Amino acid sequence: MIFNAGLKNKRLSILAAASTTSSSPTAGKKFDFIIVGGGLAGCVLANRLSANPDVSVLLLEAGVNNTSRNIKIPVAFTKIFRSNLDWNLFSKKQAEVSDRQIYLPRGKVLGGSSSTNATLYMRGSAGDYDSWGIPGWTSEEALRWFKMAETNADLKDSAVHGSKGPYHVENPRYHNFLHEKFFEAASQIGVQSNPDFNDWRRPQEGYGTFQVTQEKGVRADGYRQYLKPVLKRSNLQVLTGSNVTKVVFDGSKAVGVEYIAEDISPMREIATAELNVGGEVIMASGSIHTPHILQMSGVGDKNTLAEFGIETVANIPGVGQNLQDQPAVLVASPLKKELDGKSMSDHIYNPRGRIRKRAILQWLLFGRGSLTSTGCDRGAMMRTDAAKDSAPDLQIRFVPGMALDPDGVSTYTRFGKFQQEGRKWPSGVTFQLVAARAAGRGSVSLKSGDPFDSPSINSGYLSDDEGRDLATLMNGIDIARQLACSESMSSVLDGEMFPGENISSPAAKEEYIRKTIHSSNALVGTCRMGTSVEQGDVVNSELKIFGLSGIRIVDASIIPRIPGGQTGAATVMIAEKAADMIVRGVPAAKVDPLEEFCASDPSADECRVYED
């Protein structure tokens, strides 16, 4: 599918269907910017870079157009797992996780993973960004771009939140009495409340509400907020179903890309897109695919590339290393019989597994109710004795609904079977326990020389020598049990489904963790920003790849160390700052008078440097 200025999409798809390599949608054209990947960062970049009508921008996305209702309705993200909107990636088998392959969801659609995610808006803490130690990327600078990007519907303190940006943030619009029970329980075990997890003036620890990237109960993803409003620009061409297989280099200079549009070329003919002189390829394919495409293009560890018969363009061993995620396990309990029918799943489905009309009407008419929630929008950040520094190592996501499988994601597959049998989803609650600042490091590397083969992924779970991540998750199970046994929660819960009361010794808990650990979907770090190739870094502070020209990386893969929040907010911050560096040609750390002024009042009109 092609989108372009003023033309009807339908007509264009017919045009596209007739195209061959020589008459591909990009044949005979040159672009100032070719953005590889129309995910969260890609949508931000497409908007900001095409704001100048004199600049031509091409956005290539492997996935489909963003039209699914399952994207728009937040609760329906569970239906996207393992669907055609997902890359269906798995790690390789690893001993640390009982020889399991970990499912790693990634969005394959305009908007990328922001269109398939849980919509939590959590920036992490100031220390996360300061720990990167990179001039121009301090917490102060990051805060400026967080605010610039944001419109917060509910939190108005301008020292912390923005009010004029495209990225829409609000309080969750579904409430269940179990949320109160959780808050009371947290208070009963001695946790303080935290009214705003994104306010860096107070410690990140505490229990409370996680804000969400939604607008009146509708998902506010990269596509809807950044790309859709500018699709009519005549200088922006967006191609979906276009799988970039390679960046083309002339020596060390990127000059374009090769891509295959399978829908229009079942024989997988290669099409090319070329850069204008002085143009740039911008890699925005996310933490798995950006390093994979680079490796396919000859940018990576020269020995590995040689193994797969790929000629080295730049020997950068850090490409694909340093993969980080936030691994998770869960504790789940059923509600007492007399409370049956009170959990979130009961507010969505009737006892025969059909969606309730009331839930649909609440969403359609008021943008409220159970369909607006991805389930995990209340919780806590806690520092356990496994924490490395003063920042919390554990995130607890409280779900007022019961997991049906100890691997959270498999719950939805299991429920599908319940539905077929006309059975009811049991009422209960779940504590998802997330190692928020995990120490384990994995990698992404080539499995073969075929660009359509998924990469070989080592999740890195539980791989840290000191065993901190395991300790965090063990502590998490203990804390969840304390919460469940508190006066408030014990009044509503009836025993424990997962791990199960018989799992009590340290050895049994460890085995449970290794057998059920799953992703909480925060993959970052595989093209690390830093100072030198020798130290394993891939890009400098301007996000330019060391030793190459005409190419940058702008997505979650450049994050050196995972922030202890979710990763969407950080990705938008990175893309906003990168677009500014590219458009104005300023280095990361340069301070000019406008920047100084905007640092003190980022939402001032003068600071909206881009016109829509």
* Contact positions vs ligand FAD (CB under 6 A): 36-42, 60-63, 105-108, 112-114, 116-120, 243-244, 284-286, 289, 293, 521-522, 555-556, 566-569, 571
Cα distance between residue 424 and residue 406, in whole Å:
18
Taking the complex as a whole, how short is the minimal distance between the CB of residue 122 and ligand FAD, in angstroms? 6
Please state the three-class secondary structure of 399-424 as a single string.
Answer: ECCCCCCCCCCHHHHHHHHHHHCCCC
Nearer to ligand FAD, 35 or 497 (CB): 35
Taking the complex as a whole, how short is the minimal distance between the CB of residue 111 and ligand FAD, in angstroms? 7
Taking the complex as a whole, how short is the minimal distance between the CB of residue 77 and ligand FAD, in angstroms? 7
Nearer to ligand FAD, 345 or 571 (CB): 571
Nearer to ligand FAD, 279 or 408 (CB): 408
601: how many CB neighbours lie within 10 A of its CB?
Answer: 13
**Helices and strands (DSSP H and E) totals, the chain:** 17, 24
72-76-80 Cα angle (round to 5)? 95
The answer for 521, left when phi > 0, alpha when psi is -120 to 50, beta otherwise, is: left
Q: Kindly state the tokens that stand for 498.
A: 């997962």
465-129-384 Cα angle (round to 5)? 45
First to last CA, the chain: 24
Residue among 204, 203, 208 nearest 186 (CA): 208
Which contacts (CB < 8 Å, 24+ apart) does range 416-422 have? 418/353, 419/349, 419/353, 422/352, 422/353
Taking the complex as a whole, how short is the minimal distance between the CB of residue 11 and ligand FAD, in angstroms? 24
Nearer to ligand FAD, 575 or 607 (CB): 575
Cα–Cα separations (whole angstroms), residue 401 to 103, 347, 425, 448, 477: 22, 10, 9, 42, 17
Phi and psi, residue 350, nearest 5°: -85, 175
Nearer to ligand FAD, 47 or 114 (CB): 114
Alpha helices in 491-539 (DSSP H): 506-516
Q: Which residue has the tokens 């996501």?
A: 397
Nearer to ligand FAD, 49 or 60 (CB): 60
Nearer to ligand FAD, 42 or 208 (CB): 42
Nearer to ligand FAD, 114 or 540 (CB): 114
Taking the complex as a whole, how short is the minimal distance between the CB of residue 556 and ligand FAD, in angstroms? 3
Nearer to ligand FAD, 333 or 526 (CB): 526
The residue of the chain with the least Cβ separation from ligand FAD equals 39
Taking the complex as a whole, how short is the minimal distance between the CB of residue 515 and ligand FAD, in angstroms? 21
Taking the complex as a whole, how short is the minimal distance between the CB of residue 406 and ligand FAD, in angstroms? 18
Taking the complex as a whole, how short is the minimal distance between the CB of residue 582 and ligand FAD, in angstroms? 16
Taking the complex as a whole, how short is the minimal distance between the CB of residue 197 and ligand FAD, in angstroms? 12
Cα distance between residue 37 and residue 225, in whole Å:
16
